[in-house]
Structure formats: C-alpha cells, structure tokens
Amino acid sequence: MQSLKYGIIVLAFILCFSFIDGCNRGGSSAQGSSLDLSNPETLGDKIGTSYIEMMTELNTILKAKPEIEELKTQIAELKEKYIAIFFDYGKYREEMTDDNQALVDDATVSKFMEFMELDRTMYDYYTTAVSEYQELDYDLGSELASFNTLSQYAFYELLKKQLPDEAKRLGLQ
C-alpha cells in the first residue's frame, strides 16, 4: 500500500510537469534574488531549488513531530511563504515568450529530477509522513500532500486550470 501511495504521488508530480511542458510546446523570494531571473534556465533552476528548500523545511518540521495543532499552524505558514515565492517567480515566467517559458519548464523539471535522484530519502520521508498523517487526520494529510505540487503557483496557466478559485484570489484572470 505504501509503494502504491508513493507511486501515485510521484506520478502526479510527473504528470503535473509534463502538462506544463506540453502546454508550452503547444501553444527565498524572487525579488530578493541577485540572479537574473529573466534568463529561462536560471528561473527554472530557481523554481526547482525553491521546491527543494521548501521540502527540506517541511521535512524538518515533520521530523520534529509537533502536536497536530502546532503542525497545522507551521505548515500553513510554510505554505503561504512558498505560495508567495512561487507566485513571484510566475511573474517573471509570464513575461517570457512561449519558447522561453518552455525552457523554464525544462530547467524546472530537470532540477526536480535531480532532487529525486540525489535525495530520495527526503522525499520518501515526506511521502511516508503524508500517509501517516492522512490516517490520523485526512485534511492534514491532504494539506501536507499539497506541498508536492505547490510549485504550480509559478505556472499561471496550470494554476488557473487546477485551482481556479485560488488563481482568482491571487488576481489572475
């Protein structure tokens, strides 16, 4: 059962970014960065790096095993922090041509795959925690699971399709 849940999470992750890549072929905050985020490869790498940083922070919280209510507070704060970061990156991506957006997507996927190859232990810990918390508190487990695709906030067309109410809340038309 554990491997099935892990497989579903990984598949969702890959499908999410395959969708991003397909859309573009067919048709820390970013502002505080000294990197040239107008460069597609740099932006994609930064999105991927921020995802890794987010997962590292999340795992640190999970390993501390706080009480449920404290955990809910901590992950809500972490989620809002990274929504802002990824959404800010999306502003840079949105200004790019379709070809450059595809380069961002490729660089992002490349960074994610690098992460999965280099630190599978961290991702395995995360997926195990999601499963365990889902058994205790389904909503909490689902909230933890949502971190897996939080980088979608950098990909506005994906955000509009998958979370239209959230896209509206953030001012996307």
Q: Where are the chain's structural domains?
A: 2-11+40-169
108 vs 141: CA distance, rounded Å: 26
Report the chain's mean pLDDT, rounded to a whole number. 84
Query: 40-90 pLDDT, tens per residue?
Result: 999 999 999 999 999 999 999 999 999 999 999 999 999 999 999 999 999
Confidence (pTM): 0.79
The predicted structure's pLDDT at residue 23? 41
Intra-chain end-to-end CA distance of the chain, in Å: 40
